[in-house]
Amino acid sequence: MESGVRHRASGVGRETAEEAREWRVVAASVRGTSHEKSGLPCQDAHRYALLSGGALVAAVADGAGSAAFAEIGAEAAARAAVETLAQADLPAPGAEAGWKALLRDTLHVARVTVEAEAARLEAPPRELATTLIALAATPEQVAVIQVGDGATVVGEAAGAIFALTAPEPGEYINETTFLVAPDAVEAAQFSVWHGQAAHLAVLTDGLQHLALKLPEGAAHAPFFTPLFRFVSEATGEAEAQAQLSAFLRSPRLTGRADDDLTLLLASLAPGGGGVRR
């Protein structure tokens, strides 16, 4: 079962000279082969919203495999993060302190939402444990915050591809921090990049061994280059999502990654160039 939800909204955005440019987005979450064998659902989730003024807000979450309600925690966190960012008055480009405060508030709202879901289910919050990456991208900058594993990658028009966030180093394999941890918000990775991003990718940890050079966490350009070309040329939303889902389920990937897989791709295009149904 795919727990990722695509979401569009007019939101609150600042009108800019770049308003004619908008983000084309294709995203998918697919159930891992190990989950299929064990009868577990897809425990990843994703959400995004396109805002007026040329902004994209997005979130990707990966529920802990050991948590009884991991898929509920991931969906709740991703939904709360995007709704919070979509309703916010986004800070001006370059206002790093403002972006950090907004993104930390977004994590806090997401954690409170997960805790509320736990209370509704009469379960401890650890049973809804999830990672979370939340970002806001405008034609002038990308601001992102991350709790746990996964990565955010930027592609420039000139061809450079690099990671803004990367998996956190841990003492043990598969060790990571989850949103419900007491110090998750304070310890979260935060990054603001200023420039003209042509492409974005956000992924959960199921893909990081294929998409990143570990342990340093640098982006593996040959993985992203064809994917960025794919999203920049996509014309139909349903068809593009089906193609991305098929890629994530292909033997090329599942032979090397058996976890749930989520990939959100975005390409900045002239106005009217967004992926359409």
pLDDT at 164: 96
Domain ranges for the chain, please list them. Answer: 21-270
Question: Which parts of the chain have pLDDT scores under 50?
Answer: 1-19, 171-172, 272-277
Residue 168's pLDDT is 76
Whether the model pTM is above 0.75: yes
CATH fold of 21-270: Phosphatase 2c; domain 1 (3.60.40)
Q: Percentage of residues in the chain with pLDDT exceeding 70?
A: 88
pLDDT in tens, 34-80: 888 888 899 999 999 999 888 999 999 999 988 999 999 999 999 99
Q: 249: closest CA among 6, 12, 28?
A: 28
